[in-house]
Chains A and B, each alone.
Chain A
């Protein structure tokens, strides 16, 4: 079962990395830069990349993607957010005061509070998975080392959303998970074999959902 994968093009950051990773998994992807292309048969959305919260939100607004993205996630369609694509799901960010996020989930994005530690948090750190048996994390072990590069992180109000935590001065939510989606602060597309495995798992789940099998079905 082949699905159409859309990669959100928010006008900055390096979209090529995630598209290269998908290609290494044998999948092509289309860029989604407006609402029309999102609705053009796309089955699964990936929102990747790095960038500033405010710039990213203003591009999403200019491109008319804010409401379609909210609707997509609320409709439980397959979604994977990476780094800034994780942060914009929340209500706002200390990085860009006064800028409204997508607000799909309650909570703010805050600057890392890591006294005595270097900012950005840059390099390989553990994501301690709360539910390693979740098929999205299949093959990753309980605490995979994944690549981080960020200075801010979301603080989800709903603790049940949190799927992984990482220690850097403080313990922060490095991944969240909902019925048919997930979002991660780290970069699967830069996390070598384990990162590709995570992307492959996401695509399998999206395919299963697209085939009507339901996203929670064991793979």
Chain B
């Protein structure tokens, strides 16, 4: 149990560092989704399924959707400005 939690924290740590290091902004967004998913699993293991389900729905699904749409929008604007 403790080892599983430690493993999950390590995965989260690696994803968190990768968010800073990675150059592509879309990859960074996907990595934050990974963090959210891992956090929701950790919430499940420390006996708080309510928080886990909310984190999985909001952190992993909707936040990613909003970020990806925002990136798509701003990118298309940037390219038209350059032209």
Do A and B associate with each other? no
